[in-house]
Amino acid sequence: MSFAEQLTRLQVFLDADELHDEALDYVAAHGYLTALSICSEQVPDREWIDALFAEEPHYASEAQRAEIESTLVGLKAHIARQLASDEEFELPCELDLGDDPDDSELRGWCIGFMEGVFLREAAWFETAEEEVSEMLLPIMVGSGLFDEQPEFSDIAADANLMDDMIVQIPEALTALYLLCNAPDEKPAILKPRHH
């Protein structure tokens, strides 16, 4: 079975209604695996797989479990290779929150990404808290998880500012990857911004 076919089967499995309410769907899982691929601390496969599903899914068989888990591990490796390459990172959804952000795939992707960050929060912020926070900002805004906080509600209220931030997500991911995995090479977008 090709990797594309495996991903299709994984997508069907993750998007099914039978999974736990807190389990991540395919797009959210992609965001989650992207965060895990960037994080400087490796999270054991068993731990992140269990956290992704929230509770043990009802697999049809041991073979299905093995296939789903190995495809998740394969997707994580694929994302890591994509991040390490020079090409712009492609998200599995449009870079757009649409008219109803809560229903958009991008919001799901951003929430999944933040779930991945929360799994090893200390590791994300231990070396360059300010830079990491700045680069995570577009994803945090996209996730809607922080809208209660004044600085986030101000951004959320400004549609143009929201759009400007959302389109920065791919380059923010590349910069985060470089910062967390090749700290000697400071990415270009870390140059001080003149306000």
Please state the domain extents for the chain.
1-179
Is the model's pLDDT at 133 over the cut of 50? yes
pTM score over 0.95: no
Calpha distance 58→19 (Å, rounded): 8
Query: Which position has the higher pLDDT, 187 or 90?
Result: 90
Query: Which position has the higher pLDDT, 191 or 120?
Result: 120
Which of 72, 27, 21 shows the shortest CA–CA distance to 49? 72
Q: Specify the amino acid at residue 3.
A: F
Calpha distance 50→23 (Å, rounded): 9
What pLDDT, in 10s, does the model give residues 22-76? Answer: 999 999 999 999 999 999 999 999 999 999 999 999 999 999 999 999 999 999 9
Q: What pLDDT is attached to residue 55? A: 93
Is the model's pLDDT at 185 over the cut of 70? no
Average pLDDT over residues 172-187: 80
Calpha distance 162→159 (Å, rounded): 5
What pLDDT, in 10s, does the model give residues 69-120? Answer: 999 999 999 999 999 988 889 999 999 998 888 899 999 999 999 999 999 9
- Domain boundaries 1-179, corresponding CATH code: 1.20.120.740
What pLDDT, in 10s, does the model give residues 159-179? Answer: 899 999 999 999 999 999 999
Using CA atoms, how far residue 144 sits from 73, 130, 148, 176, 186, in Å, is 27, 20, 9, 20, 29
Q: What pLDDT is attached to residue 156? A: 87
Is the model's pLDDT at 193 over the cut of 90? no
